[in-house]
Every structure is written in C-alpha cells, then in structure tokens.
Amino acid sequence: MAEDLRTEVFKAGDIRRALTRIGYEIVEGEKGADDFVLMGIHSRGVPLARRIAEAIARAGNTERNPEDIVGELDITRFRDDRPSHPARAERETRFPAGGIEGRTVVLVDDVLYSGRTVRAALDALSDLGRPAAVRLAILVDRGHRELPIRADFVGKNLPTSRRERVSVLLEEVDGVDSIVLEKPVIA
C-alpha cells in the first residue's frame, strides 16, 4: 500500500483562527492598534497581512481602516539566493497610510524556515525608512534556521525535517485555504 505523501495540517478554519489570534497578540503587544503597520512580504504575506488587519478591525480593536494598516513589501532584489533560483519579476512595494517612519512595522509572511527571506525583508525596510521597531508575524514556523531570526507571532509551530516541504495555500492565490506537509518520495 502506498503511503500518502501529503498531509493537510491546517484547514481553512484553523488558518482563520490562527490569524485572528495573531491579530489579538499584535494589538496586545503593541498596547493598542494606533501606531503599528503590517507589511506583507510578497506573495502570500500580503493576503495574510490583509486578513490580520481585518481580524483586528472586526474585533473592534481599531477605528483605522484595515487597508490603511497594510503595506506590501517586495524583497526580490534583496534576496541572497537569486543566482540559484529562477528570476522572478519584481513587484510593487506599497506603503500603508502614514508610511513606516517611526512606527512599529510587523512583517507578515507565510512560512519561516531558514530566515533568509526575513533577512532580505529587513534589508528592504532599511532602504525604505527607519521604523521605530520591527516585529515578525508568521503563519507557520517550521524550524531549521540558518540565521538568528525568531518570529514574535506564530500561527503554528510545525516541526519538519529539512527534506519535507510546507505548502501554504490561500484562497486569494490558490483558490483554497490549507496548509499541507509534503514528505519526500523515497525510492
């Protein structure tokens, strides 16, 4: 009998609850929702940041429009793995209302693995301005850091082997909300 190599570890409701919890934790950690912004890292970090902002607004924790809280961060030219990965088109970096200068920026992404994407995001932010502080919100932390980076807000800690793959599927990008753990094919 063949072993199923794909396991769904989070369903749509799990993702929704995790993002709502992250929203509450951000507001609590920042002592309110008035002076922080969410910067989603392209590509899946952007819809996640929007969902977190909407969860914060639904909870009544801010009078700010969710769109005014969210920005988009393209890190393409700051990546250190460009020669080994296929070229991808740069996307637009968009600032939230009021910008990032002197504010707490919460970087949002789907999976934290080696830490290299976050390092690139920090480099991109330093080119754009000087936030008062930078925090990190991650939907899935799978471990195996290569750099000394830790998330401040985590939806799910998912211990994996280096050979396994974590796929985050989002309605806005993939047509479905799911987190799937894929095991390697053993010949």
Portion of the chain with pLDDT greater than 90, in percent: 80
Give the pLDDT confidence of 88-138 residue by residue, as tens digits: 678 899 999 999 999 999 999 999 999 999 999 999 999 999 999 999 999
End-to-end distance of the chain based on CA atoms, in angstroms? 14
- Angstrom distance (rounded) from CA 173 to CA 69: 21
Q: Name, in order, each residue with C-beta under 8 angstroms of 7's C-beta and a sequence gap of 6 or more.
A: 180, 181, 183
In terms of DSSP bridges, do strands 6-10 and 36-41 run parallel, antiparallel, or are they unpaired?
Answer: unpaired
- How far, in Å, CA of 45 to CA of 51, rounded? 10
What is the percent of the chain with per-residue pLDDT over 70, rounded to a whole number?
Answer: 93
Contacts of 1 (CB under 8 A, 6+ apart): none
Q: How far apart are CA 16 and CA 136, in angstroms?
A: 18
In the chain, which ranges are continuous DSSP H helix?
12-29, 45-58, 66-69, 116-128, 171-174
At 134-169, the pLDDT tens digits run 999 999 999 999 999 999 999 999 999 999 999 999
Domains of the chain: 13-79+98-161 (3.40.50.2020)
Distance CA 99, CA 111 (A): 25
Helix, strand, coil abundance in the chain, percent, nearest 5? 30, 25, 40
Mean pLDDT on 44-49: 98
Whether the Cβ atoms of residue 22 and residue 110 lie closer than 8 Å to each other: no
The pLDDT of residue 1: 39
The band of 32, judged by pLDDT with boundaries at 50, 70 and 90, is confident
> If 0-12 CB within 10 Å is exposed, 13-18 middle and 19+ buried, where does residue 110 land?
buried
The arithmetic mean of pLDDT across residues 68-85, rounded, is 83
Q: Name which of 63, 59, 67, 35 is nearest 133 in CA terms.
A: 35
> Is the model's pLDDT at 186 over the cut of 80?
no
Which pLDDT score, from 0 to 100, does residue 184 have?
Answer: 87
